[in-house]
Amino acid sequence: MLEKGLVQIYTGDGKGKTTAAFGAALRAAGQGNKVLVYQFLKPATLDIGERFALQLGAVRIRVETLDMPWDMSGSLEDEKAVTKIQAAISDALKRITQTAEKRFYDVLILDEIVFCLSEGLAKFEDVKDLIDKRDSAVEIILTGRGATPELIELADLVTEMKNIKHPFDKGQQARRGIEY
Ligand code: ATP
Ligand code: MG
């Protein structure tokens, strides 16, 4: 549906990256585009409001997860977990690249892939390959903290969510329906 797809990045330490990406998904789907949201680091067992909403089926946005065990507060230090997820992420990116070559979706959202890249869980070459090989009409949105200069170089649009204030700083727990 798009004439030309661009590459967007939502990064930074403030709230709003994933929710902005889902907003973009909603808008694109409402204008008749086929959308895939692929969630890295968010296993199927995680309680995720936006995923539940889309699984109700009223809006046609496909959500898939790299369904690997991952704990944000410990897995990065677990060598075995890291090695396992690196392989799974690389495979997932190759599969997503195939769908992008065929333009199976008009808009592809890779949630948390920027964080995966900044922590060495994903290979830059795999993401570059996806961007280079995709059908030229496919829009790609990458989210997550820590966008590197080489990734920014590849993108057409980069937004940084800057943390000014967040209730977590005062010890407030994540709220169901707002943070997840
Ligand atoms: P959201 O999903 O709300 O759009 P995000 O994608 O920008 O947030 P992530 O970096 O993916 O944020 O963070 C994961 C979780 O941490 C989310 O539940 C998010 O609301 C919350 N979060 C975001 N920014 C901050 C912050 N500065 N301090 C504490 N928690 C945050
Ligand atoms: Mg996020």
Residue 124 has pLDDT above 90, yes or no: yes
Token pair listed for 105: 């979706």
The residue nearest atom 15 of ligand 1, judged by CA position, is: 179
| Spatial separation of the C-alpha atoms in residues 175 and 162, rounded to whole Å | 20
Read off the pTM.
0.93
Q: How far is the CA of 41 from the centre of ligand 2 (A)?
A: 10
Closest Cα to atom 29, ligand 1: which residue? 168
Atom of ligand 1 minimally distant from the CA of 145: 10
Res. 97: pLDDT tops 90: yes
Q: Where are the domains of the chain?
A: 7-170
Predicted pLDDT at 57: 83
For residues 124-156, b (16+ Cβ closer than 10 Å) or e, as one string?
Answer: eebbeebbeebeeebbbbbbbbebeeebeebbe
Q: Is 118 in the pocket of ligand 1 (CB under 6 A)?
A: no
Residue 55 pLDDT greater than 90, yes or no = no
* Ligand positioned closest to the Cα atom of 145: 1
Q: Which CATH class is domain 7-170?
A: alpha beta
Neighbours of ion ligand 2 (CB under 5 A): 17-18
Residue 180 Cα to ligand 2 midpoint, Å, equals 9
Contacts of residue 16, defined as CB under 8 A and 6 or more positions apart, other chains included, come to 10, 161
